[in-house]
Amino acid sequence: MRRPKPKSKKFKIQSRQAEVEELELLESWIESGKPGSGSNPLSLQPLPDESPVGRLSDGSFSRYAGCKKFSQLPLSKETKDGLAAAKYKNMTDIQRASLPHSICGRDILGAAKTGSGKTLAFVIPILEKLYQARWGPEDGVGCIIMSPTRELAGQLFEVLKSVGKYHGFSAGLLIGGRKDVDTEKEHVNDLNILVCTPGRLLQHMDETPNFDCSQLQVLVLDEADRILDVGFKKALNAIISQLPKDRQTLLFSATQTKSVQDLARLSLKDPEYLSVHEEAETATPNRLQQTAIIVPLEQKLDMLWSFVKAHLNSRILVFLSSCKQVRFVFETFKKLRPGIPLKCLHGRMKQEKRMGIYSQFCEQRSVLFSTDVASRGLDFDKAVDWVVQMDCPEDVAAYIHRVGRTARYLSGGKSVLFLLPSEMKMLKKLEEKKIPIRFIKANMKRLQPVSGLLAALLVKYPNLQQLAQRAFITYLKSINKQRDKEVFDVMKLPIDDFSASLGLPMTPKIRFLKQKVKGKASEELSLVQESTVGDNLNEDQIESFDTGKAEKDRVEAKEDKFLLLQEDTQRGEKVTEIGDAGPPATRVLKKKKLKINVHRPVGTRVVFDEDCNTLPPLAKLADVKRSADLVHLDKDKVKQRFADLRKELKIVDEEDKILDRKRRKEKRIKEKMKWKKGREGEEADVGSEVDISASDTEESGDRVNKKTKIYLDSDSDDGKRTRKDKQGGSADSISLAEQEQLALKLLSSMHS
Ligand SMILES: Nc1ncnc2c1ncn2[C@@H]1O[C@H](COP(=O)(O)OP(=O)(O)OP(=O)(O)O)[C@@H](O)[C@H]1O
């Protein structure tokens, strides 16, 4: 039953100052073991629970913090019942350390190993806060829990529902990719607790009429360092600017931020930094067995395949660096049928599918290929046996979160990290951060090569070839983009072998690599690198397929670029280069270096000049294209540019046709004239008719056929001219009937 609500709203919306005073009173009360005499209503309220440990022992705060069971904490009966129903009895380290502070309303910076129960460490205090404030449906949004990914938000929502089921609060899950945003808009103001991703929350703040967070009591950032990262910076700043500053803020992560700037952004006030495993020997769960293995780039797929085949009874989570990598490995392995269900998860999938895959993987023993979308926070219901990092994580924090998907809470788990010989420095970095990782050598004898099979698959399924090319490009791009240049060096990669290992018949070319190799324009190159770090370039811009022809001239290069860009727009993909005439900005011009050339595809039309010399393809467009040279443009402009270029092409085609027709006409006229002269000769000497045919039957037959054909051609192709000639009644011309008669005569003479 709900307790009666206080009449004045002032009661629950206290100023920060009042809250601090209240906490001081509460603390002094706990310390002295006597209720404070302050006038703050909350301090006079008996705590909801009469737990002897919280109040009646020696009353010390540390003893209060030393409680081991939830039942010992001064929590509401509803929360306790919820915890008991979900079978949570004993607190984990982070819960024991943080709850005594957080339920008193303090800001918390909580850090603890993965799988150590940080979720409850913030779910409990928000329930308690709203409970203490007697929050009701009409009070609107009282708490916001933010998560960097949709899947994690969904998982947090489930925990909240299970632990908070005896409370009367309303809660909603607001995540991107869901179509029912309009329904959400109708109800969002009635919700007390929002579990959301930053993007969706901001969308509601921007679009939902009367969306109101002004009464917010608690803000929680799960995976706080990730949400405070550059990727969410704009969204988060916009959100924070719309939230009241007088609130409690709880930040949790296994790799917590201590950046003063971050804390200032969130207006944290005297936060409690609680890093429960800081002194621990390892930064990762104790039950996690971690190994690293050197795998040359060209053997990674062989190694992964061999690993999967050797662990058919395990639940395996494989991390790759990009969506395209994930898709390629998933699609090809699926066709090769390893003998275990395969699944994939990445950010470009539809939300329902993502959620479906997530729950299927929880239920079924399978292999899940995933990007880092699954690297943080996810608590797969049934333990993941293996975490395989096929591609090296970008830093130690990413490593910790990835391996943290296994060995959660009390369960064990194993992980393996594939390292390229050039990435060995990562091992040192991991060890420096107290990650106990065992370096092992792969047993190459047991390796099952798969590249040959992939090559065959790529021939059979052209779409796989495209996927392979894209996977190739994105991988190299991802390495090139990495900030840690000590570990990641794209120049050290065996590019051709890597391409072959994906089953590609030839190595797609990447201009930026080529230039690096040549060592030309090193200054420009550094600018390219600068501009590509953290920049989501369209990978199709820099990919091409090497047809094996080595020689390319400048014109071809330009044409190729044109063709490539045309392909891109036809596919409707993002094109960020090419543009109008005019001097491009220096920095943008450097991006030109990322472009690569596509060889002219087979079947490209060859144009001849009047002397029958071949013209460079699209020479007429050279000027146009020159002017279109590489400035950063938006998609519409690029489309417009292509429309113009296509028009130009049409004009060129028309001109060619006219020229061709003219030549053919002239030829026909010449032959006709010749034929007429011959006929005159025949008419003059009728007796020679038989002689001619007898002396050179074949030739004459040919000639007749030819003549007949020419006649028919000329009639059909150039009917107008024939009619005109007929009308003109030229002395040289003969009528159609005459010509037919003549042809028949010649034919009958041949037969006879
Ligand atoms: N007090 C507890 N008693 C029993 N199980 C618990 C307790 N607290 C949490 N757990 C369980 O431990 C697992 C991990 O919890 P949780 O997801 O909160 O970890 P986490 O620290 O947030 O991990 P990550 O850093 O990966 O986000 C969950 O399955 C959860 O149900």
| pLDDT for 180 | 79
Exposed / middle / buried, residue 218 (Cβ in 10 Å: 0-12, 13-18, 19+): buried
- 442 vs 222, residue with greater confidence: 222
Where is pLDDT greater, at 39 or 532? 532
> Where in 4-58 does DSSP place strands (E)?
none
Q: Ligand 1 centre and the CA of 115: distance in Å?
A: 5
10-275 and 288-447 have identical folds: yes
Pocket test for ligand 1, best of 72, 223, 379, 406 (most atoms within 8 A of CB): 379
Percent of the chain with pLDDT over 70: 63
337-378 pLDDT per residue, tens: 999 999 999 999 998 899 899 889 988 899 999 999 999 999
| Residue of the CA atom closest to atom 29 of ligand 1 | 379
pLDDT tier at 546, thresholds 50, 70, 90: very low
> Which ligand 1 atom sits closest to the C-alpha of 88?
3
Name which residue sits closest to atom 7 of ligand 1, judged by CA.
117
Length of the chain: 752
* SS3 of residue 177 by DSSP: coil
Q: Which stretches within 172-229 are classed as H helix?
A: 181-187, 198-207, 224-227
- For the chain, give the mean pLDDT: 73
Of 592, 519, 602, nearest to 557 by C-alpha is: 592
**Ligand 1 surroundings by CB, under 6 angstroms:** 88, 90-92, 95, 112, 114-120, 254, 377, 379, 404, 408-409
Model pTM? 0.66
pLDDT tens across 650-698, in order?
776 787 788 888 888 888 888 888 877 776 655 443 333 323 333 332 3
Q: What is the pLDDT of residue 451?
A: 86
Q: For residue 442, report the distance from its CA to the centre of ligand 1, in Å.
A: 34
More confident residue, 609 or 234: 234
Does residue 279 sit in helix, strand or coil? coil
CB–CB of 349/357 below 8 Å?
yes
Q: Taking a C-beta distance cutoff of 8 angstroms, is the pair 414, 311 a contact?
A: no
**Is-contact 160 193, C-beta < 8 A?**
yes
Where do the domains of the chain lie?
A: 10-275, 288-447, 453-513
The answer to whether residue 521 scores a pLDDT higher than 70 is no
Give the C-alpha separation, 214 to 217, whole Å.
Answer: 9
Mean pLDDT of 607-634: 42
Closest CA to 277 of 459, 118, 156: 118
Report the CATH architecture of 288-447.
3-Layer(aba) Sandwich (3.40)
Q: Which superfamily, per CATH, for 10-275?
A: P-loop containing nucleotide triphosphate hydrolases (3.40.50.300)
Lowest-pLDDT range, 43-57, 610-624, 635-649?
A: 43-57
Question: What stretches of 228-384 show up as alpha helix (H) in DSSP?
Answer: 230-241, 260-265, 300-310, 323-336, 351-363
From 15-19, 317-321, 734-738, the region with the lowest mean pLDDT: 15-19
Question: Given ligand 1 and candidates 288, 380, 408, which is best to mutate, with the most ligand atoms within 8 Å of its CB?
Answer: 408
CB burial of 368-397 (b: ≥16 within 10 Å; e: otherwise) equals bbbbbbbbbbbbbeebbbbbbbbbbbbbbb
CA 371 to chain centre: 9
Residue 744, number of CB atoms within 10 A of its CB: 11
